[in-house]
């Protein structure tokens, strides 16, 4: 995946990713600065990294990071003027600034206080004389040392944790051993020798040879009769032995199937295994809160996959805490409301329609739409007019957001907004879903819907580039066939519409890097619809091969994480098949669609896509680059990106573009030199160029225009649409007339 295929990421996520890379670069270069005899190139890299971070932070509104990066950049510029490395005390403080940037961006844990940021800025603006001479500044405190790398013992312990013991009752163990013994006996049963049949075949062959040599007709007839008799005997023997072997094969297959399902059942544990700890948790939390509660548990004998049961422990703890803290009222409040002073908390597990459903419900306050609306307004998560019109079901979705809490204060029990978010993450990560609702008698109900087993999955088999793949059905939104006439080109991409919903089409063969699809352009499209982060993705496969129940085999840990692949399995005929990770695949498909490798599903529509005006965006800041790409693409332009001046120059010489949008400060080749190269190239000299830079002084503007830029815009132009207006003025709308 290229770094520019980032359509599914928010600007904050892009900034965090860029900050992580830039902070690593800052730390490494600051440490090397103390030892180098040629500080110039190192200082240049440091200044550029701080400058890029400052620009990216300004885009996403991180003012603290802008201030920290700005004073660091000033110190680098001062050092550049003398071409000398700063003294050790200043480098120590710059390293502290790098840590502050990392924390502000969310790369490392911890949130710096405003006082610590102000102290850092004050120190950098006026370093004490003793710091500029030598030694460590008094304000710098030693940071805790990083934890040591895991030892071999730690890795071994982790592996032992992974190999958990499986608890199994003696009755099931006896049954499994008995079945295994039957399988061994069945495999050794003598089905009778095939020697009589082989002897009969040899005899027939000899008789036929004699027939070919015999000239006497009567003798020939006699030999043929003997051969026919021997053939009848051989056929009878073969039929008898074949029937016996078929019966034994079916018997062995039945035993092996029972062995497999019993072994699979050994992974199951009763739901009640995790109840003692949850009961104690409910009791202790209720006492701490001064509340009375009866905990009712049903379905304790419901069998649950061992791994699922382990995953359920934490989410159920969150739900119990939330119910007791937010849902159930105190005894006096319940009496005033005409309720039993003792609240009721119900936890149940059951199998339903092939799924495991775990429910946690209470008879407390229930979902309060007004309270949720107030929290949504307080956090600015939606416009006022939209919040007022939301239904209770729509409002309940906010409860699943990371960090969202109805509590106005954080306590030891709740208020940090991690409860329902953690439950949702567990459910979706296990291939299930979550449902919130009001109880039949009021209160709050949360249903966690999970697959019964993580080892057995019902999957859709599809053919892609002559290979077969499996897609777990729990994450497939829809399967359908579409006519080529249903495909429409929108914004440079091909889509179909399902009702009012737009589904963006990508070819599975190209997403999985298996080459081009061999499907005929006029035949129906076989589509697997997946839910992406922003929109639905229609994955075009060559054909459907039906549905199967597959026993999953985990990938060897030495392979690490394999993109888009979750496991393997064996088909009924013994052929191996790759089971795709649908969540991962949806992200890869969305990124592929947004990237420059995108190819139209229907070639005959490529002419329509070719009529789009192409814009090249060059900026070394990942955040700024992606913002400009999204802004222009949203207006219908076909946009490609370059990570610096050299990358942009190579793209311009190899491709055909209608316009260039470039930054000034970029590594290897800055924007001014790039513009000069464009204007000196006979093929590119008339290419419209817009410079977008943080350097908005008059002398900077004059320098850019003198180099040959048609427009010189500040990066604040994103807000007032100056960039869009400049593009439209220079090259018109997105479509070539």
Q: Which long-range contacts (CB under 8 A, 24 or more apart) does 155-160 make?
A: none
How far is residue 587 from each of residues 6, 153, 316, 584, 732, measured CA to CA in Å?
A: 9, 36, 29, 5, 33
The pLDDT of residue 137 is 38
The pLDDT value given to residue 534: 60
In whole angstroms, give the CA distance from residue 79 to residue 473: 60
Q: 188 is written with which tokens?
A: 């050794």
Reported confidence tier of residue 419, pLDDT bands at 50, 70, 90: low
CA distances from 530 to 50, 618, 722 (A): 40, 32, 37
CA distance 323 to 275: 16
Which residues on adjacent β-strands are paired with residue 478?
Answer: 529
Q: What is the pLDDT of residue 674?
A: 92
N-terminal to C-terminal alpha carbon distance within the chain = 34
Output the pLDDT for position 156: 40
**pLDDT tops 60 at residue 68:** yes
Does residue 252 carry a pLDDT above 70? yes
Asked if pLDDT for residue 174 goes beyond 80, the answer is no
For the record, the structure tokens of 102 come out as: 């990392």
pLDDT of the residue at 131: 72
Helices 39-59 and 11-33: angle between axes, nearest 10 degrees: 160
| CB 608, CB 15: distance < 8 Å | no
pLDDT at 191 over 50: yes
> How confident is the prediction for the chain on average, in pLDDT?
77
The residue written with tokens 């048609």 in the block is 710
Question: From CA 637, how far away is CA 617, in angstroms rounded?
Answer: 12
pLDDT at 548: 84
Tell me the range of 26-30, 57-61, 674-678 where mean pLDDT is highest: 674-678
At 422-450, the pLDDT tens digits run 788 788 777 778 888 877 667 888 889 88
- Per-residue pLDDT at 171: 59
What is the Cα–Cα distance from 581 to 566, expressed in whole angstroms? Answer: 5
Q: How far is CA 648 from CA 4, 186, 204, 725, in A?
A: 14, 70, 81, 23
Indicate the DSSP class of residue 138: T
Model confidence at 179, pLDDT cuts 50, 70, 90, reads low
The CB-based long-range contact list for 525-528 (8 Å cut-off, 24+ gap) reads 525/481, 525/482, 525/483, 525/484, 525/486, 525/487, 525/601, 526/462, 526/481, 527/478, 527/479, 527/480, 527/481, 527/482, 527/496, 527/503, 528/460, 528/462, 528/471, 528/476, 528/478, 528/479
Taking alpha carbons only, the member of 521, 526, 381, 550 closest to residue 457 is: 550
Separation of alpha carbons 419 and 413, rounded Å? 10
| Distance from C-alpha of 541 to C-alpha of 509, rounded to nearest angstrom | 7
Q: Is 680 helix (H, G, I), strand (E, B) or coil?
A: helix
Average pLDDT over residues 472-489: 80
pLDDT digits (tens, 9 = 90+) for 621-659: 878 887 888 888 888 888 878 888 888 898 888 778 899
Beta carbons within 8 Å of 224's beta carbon, 6+ residues apart: 207, 211
Short-list 339, 325, 331, CA closest to 441: 339
Give the residue among 681, 643, 680, 639 at the shortest CA–CA distance from 660.
639
Residue 6 has pLDDT above 60, yes or no: no
- CA–CA separation, 723 vs 717, rounded Å? 6
Question: What architecture does CATH give domain 11-133?
Answer: Up-down Bundle (1.20)
Q: Where are the domains of the chain?
A: 11-133, 173-264, 270-451, 456-605, 611-731
Average pLDDT over residues 403-419: 50
CA of residue 373 relative to chain centroid, distance: 30
Cβ atoms of 363 and 441 closer than 8 Å: yes
Name which of 59-63, 186-190, 463-467, 563-567 the model is least confident about.
Answer: 186-190
Say yes or no to pLDDT of 703 above 80: yes
Looking at the domain that runs over 456-605, which CATH code has it been given? 2.40.50.180
Long-range CB contacts (within 8 A, 24+) of 235-244: 237/196, 237/197, 237/200, 238/197, 241/191, 241/192, 241/194, 241/197, 244/191, 244/192
Cα dihedral value 626, 628, 634, 636, nearest 10: -110
User: For the chain, how many helices (H) and strands (E)?
Assistant: 26, 23
Residue 492 in this model has a pLDDT that exceeds 70: no
Helical H segments across 34-62, by residue range: 39-59
One of 3.30.565.10, 3.20.20.140, 3.40.50.970, 3.20.20.150 is the CATH number of 270-451, namely: 3.30.565.10
For 351-365, 470-484, 510-524, which range has the lowest pLDDT when averaged over its residues? 510-524
Q: Which residues contact 321 (CB under 8 A, 6 or more apart)?
A: 281, 285, 413, 414, 419
Predicted local confidence at residue 568, as pLDDT: 86
| Residue 687 pLDDT > 90 | yes
**93-134 pLDDT per residue, tens:** 898 898 899 889 888 888 888 899 999 999 998 888 877 765
Q: How confident is the model at residue 677 (pLDDT cuts 50, 70, 90)?
A: very high
The pLDDT, as a whole number, for residue 417 is: 42
Above 60 in pLDDT, residue 26?
Answer: yes
Q: What is the pLDDT of residue 5?
A: 46
Measure the CA–CA gap between 408 and 454, rounded to whole angstroms: 38
Asked if 11-133 and 456-605 have one fold, the answer is no
Looking at the domain covering 611-731, what would its CATH class be? alpha beta
Q: Across 185-199, 204-218, 582-596, which has the greatest mean pLDDT?
A: 204-218
Region 696-720 average pLDDT: 80
Range 227-254 average pLDDT: 78
**Reading across the β-sheet that carries 614-618, which strands appear in turn?**
638-642, 614-618, 659-662, 689-693, 711-714
């Amino acid at each position: 995946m290229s770094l520019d295929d980032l359509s599914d990421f928010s600007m904050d996520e892009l900034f965090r990713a860029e900050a992580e890379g830039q902070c690593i670069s800052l730390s490494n270069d600051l440490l090397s600065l103390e030892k180098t005899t040629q500080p110039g190139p190192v200082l240049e890299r440091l200044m550029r990294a701080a400058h890029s971070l400052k620009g990216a932070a300004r885009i996403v509104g991180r003012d603290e990071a802008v201030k920290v990066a700005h004073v660091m950049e000033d110190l680098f510029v001062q050092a550049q003027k003398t071409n000398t490395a700063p003294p050790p005390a200043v480098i120590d403080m710059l390293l502290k600034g790098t840590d502050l940037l990392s924390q502000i961006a969310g790369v490392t844990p911890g949130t710096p206080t405003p006082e610590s940021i102000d102290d850092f800025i004050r120190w950098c603006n006026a370093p004490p004389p003793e710091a500029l001479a030598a030694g460590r500044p008094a304000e710098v405190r030693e940071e805790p040392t990083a934890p040591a790398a895991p030892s071999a013992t730690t890795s071994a312990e982790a592996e032992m944790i992974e190999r958990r013991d499986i608890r199994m009752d003696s009755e099931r163990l006896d049954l499994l051993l008995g079945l295994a013994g039957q399988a061994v006996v069945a495999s050794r049963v003598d089905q009778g020798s095939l020697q009589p049949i082989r002897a009969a075949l040899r005899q027939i062959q000899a008789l036929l040879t004699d027939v070919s040599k015999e000239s006497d007709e009567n003798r020939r007839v006699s030999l043929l009769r003997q051969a026919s008799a021997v053939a009848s005997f051989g056929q009878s023997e073969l039929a008898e032995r074949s029937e016996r072997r078929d019966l034994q094969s079916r018997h062995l297959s039945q035993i092996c199937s029972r062995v497999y399902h019993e072994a699979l059942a050994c992974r199951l544990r009763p739901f009640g295994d995790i109840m003692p700890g949850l009961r104690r948790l409910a009791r202790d939390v209720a006492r701490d809160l001064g509340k009375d509660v009866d905990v009712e548990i049903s379905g304790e004998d419901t069998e649950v996959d061992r791994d699922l049961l382990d995953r359920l422990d934490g989410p159920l703890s969150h739900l119990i805490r939330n119910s007791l803290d937010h849902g159930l009222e105190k005894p006096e409040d319940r009496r005033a409301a005409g309720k039993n002073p003792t609240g009721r908390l119900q936890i149940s597990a059951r199998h339903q329609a092939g799924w495991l459903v775990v429910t946690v419900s209470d008879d407390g306050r229930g979902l309060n739409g007004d309270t949720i609306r107030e929290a949504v307004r307080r956090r600015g998560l939606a416009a006022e007019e939209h919040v007022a019109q939301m239904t209770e079901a729509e409002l309940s979705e906010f409860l699943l957001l990371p960090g969202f809490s109805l509590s106005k204060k954080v306590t030891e029990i709740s208020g940090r907004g991690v409860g329902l978010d953690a439950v949702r993450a567990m459910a979706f990560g296990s291939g299930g879903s979550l449902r919130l609702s009001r109880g039949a008698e009021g209160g709050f109900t949360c249903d966690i819907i999970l697959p019964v087993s993580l080892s057995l999955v019902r999957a859709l088999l599809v053919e892609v580039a002559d290979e077969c793949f499996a897609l777990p059905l729990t994450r497939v939104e829809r399967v359908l066939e579409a006519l080529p006439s249903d495909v429409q080109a929108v914004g440079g991409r091909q889509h179909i519409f399902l009702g009012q919903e737009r589904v963006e089409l990508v070819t599975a063969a190209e997403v999985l890097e298996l080459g081009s699809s061999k499907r005929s352009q006029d035949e129906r499209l076989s589509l697997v619809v997946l839910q992406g982060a922003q929109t639905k993705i229609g994955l075009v496969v060559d054909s459907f091969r039906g549905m199967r129940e597959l026993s999953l085999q985990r990938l060897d840990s030495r392979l690490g994480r394999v993109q888009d692949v979750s496991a393997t399995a064996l088909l009924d005929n013994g052929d191996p098949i790759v089971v795709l990770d649908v969540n991962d695949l949806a992200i890869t498909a969305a990124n592929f669609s947004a990237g420059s490798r995108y190819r139209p599903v229907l070639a005959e529509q490529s002419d329509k896509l070719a009529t789009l005006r192409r814009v090249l965006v060059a900026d070394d800041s990942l955040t700024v680059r992606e913002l400009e790409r999204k802004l222009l693409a949203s207006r219908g332009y076909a946009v490609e990106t370059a990570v610096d001046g050299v990358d942009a120059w190579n793209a311009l010489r190899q491709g055909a573009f209608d316009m260039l949008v470039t930054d000034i400060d970029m590594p290897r080749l800055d924007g001014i030199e790039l513009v000069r190269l464009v204007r000196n190239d006979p093929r590119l000299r008339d290419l419209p160029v817009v410079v977008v830079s943080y350097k908005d002084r008059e002398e900077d503007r004059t320098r850019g225009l003198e180099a040959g830029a048609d427009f010189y815009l500040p990066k604040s132009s994103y807000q007032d649409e100056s960039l869009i207006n400049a593009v439209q003025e220079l090259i018109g709308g997105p479509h070539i007339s």
